[in-house]
Amino acid sequence: MRIGTLTLAALLAAIPLSAPAEARTLDPAKPEDALEIMKRTQCGVKDNVPAVYRWAGKIFSRRDGEPDKHLFNMEGMNIRQCVTVTDAQRGTGYRMVSREITLYLDPKTGEVLRQWQNPYTGKTVEVMHIANDPVNSRPSFPIGADGKPYSIALTRMGDMLLMGFEAPLYYVNPLAGDYQDYVGNKYHAMEIFDFAMPASTLDTKVASVNPTVAWVRISDWMPWMMMEGRQGQMVFNAMGVKLKSFDELPEVMKQEIATNYPDYTAAPPVDDTRPNETTWTVFKKKIDAKRAKDGTKPAASH
């Protein structure tokens, strides 16, 4: 799940950046504490300890002038870890590294789809599940790159803390050519993340923070669907939690990881410097590799 290069990326936490002498209540109005709340939300209690998020939900298509279609169910996971980093000007912060999977499931049987008959084109296509490695975040510090103090939008309702944010995405599609400012074909999407956790987790004596999360993504068609420019978009709607361990993932996900994604039993190394992956960058590499193997080229334009 991402947040921007994001994801469900792209997101987030661990032990207090500088361990206090005794337990205290974190104050979200203070940049250092706000950063610690986010770090705990994202990863857990200590640096270099893996944290696993799971989410599940449904995926719909939406097109003008017709009812929405329930195309898929989904099952997803993200495995991550955080590490403390320091900057002479911006203070002590953290960096998160992660990799994530979202499986497309048959909405009737719950089985992992390998092929799918596109109801809009009538063609049967190979399903490419979301498997992005890595989905890393830039380091976060009490002082932002713009010189402003770090802050989070945290709302208390009763005994719960709510934290939500929206990530509007608009950038050149990796599958596009060099003239997209003139003819369009930008990647246009929005990802929405809403976290909820007990207010008691602001107390630093709480050993583990396991929030729930709601994730919504409104995006273009997935490239493997072969929609060929048809009007419409996809709506992903999922809810999830931070798990206590990898073992709490459902069997369908653990089996898929064991068979096809063995690296996803662990987070990337904290010094990982690879560029982030998205469905579009992964799909482009797949198509380029197939064309190189087959000795084929893209169809000529007219």
CA distance 69 to 59: 9
Distances, alpha carbon 68 to alpha carbons 103, 248, 278, 286, in Å: 21, 33, 25, 30
pLDDT for 139 beyond 50: yes
Residue 188 CA, chain-centre distance (Å), reads 16
Q: What is the pLDDT of residues 218-270, one digit of tens each?
A: 999 999 999 998 999 999 999 999 999 999 999 999 999 999 999 999 999 99
Angle made by CA atoms 216, 196, 31, in degrees to the nearest 5: 105
Answer yes or no: pTM beyond 0.95.
no
Nearest to 75 by CA among 256, 298, 246, 272: 256
Residue 182 confidence (pLDDT): 76
pLDDT grade for 169, boundaries at 50, 70 and 90: very high
CA distance 118 to 105: 14
The residues with which 245 forms a beta bridge, in sequence order, are none
Residue 298 confidence (pLDDT): 62
* Domain layout of the chain by residue ranges: 31-294
pLDDT for 300 beyond 70: no
Per-residue three-class SS string for the chain:
CECCCCECCCCCCCCCCCCCCCCCECCCCCHHHHHHHHHHHHCCCCCCCCEEEEEEEEEEEECCCCCCEEEEEEEEEEEEEEEEEEECCCEEEEEEEEEEEEEEECCCCCCECCEEECCCCCCEEECCCEEECCCCCCCECCECCCCCECCCCEEEECCEEEEEEEEEEEEECCCCCCCHHHHCCEEEEEEEEEEEEEHHHHECCCCCCCCEEEEEEEECCCHHHCCCCCCCEEEEEEEEEEECCHHHCCHHHHHHHHHHCHHHHCCCCCCCCCCCCCHHHHHHHHHHHHHHHHCCCCCCCC
CA distance 110 to 128: 16
Residue 19 confidence (pLDDT): 46
Q: Find the Cα–Cα–Cα–Cα dihedral 178, 102, 70, 187, rounded to 10°.
A: -20
Q: What is the pLDDT of residues 173-230, one digit of tens each?
A: 899 888 777 767 889 999 999 999 999 999 999 878 899 999 999 999 999 999 998 9
Whether 131 contacts 104, CB under 8 Å: no
pLDDT for 275 beyond 90: yes
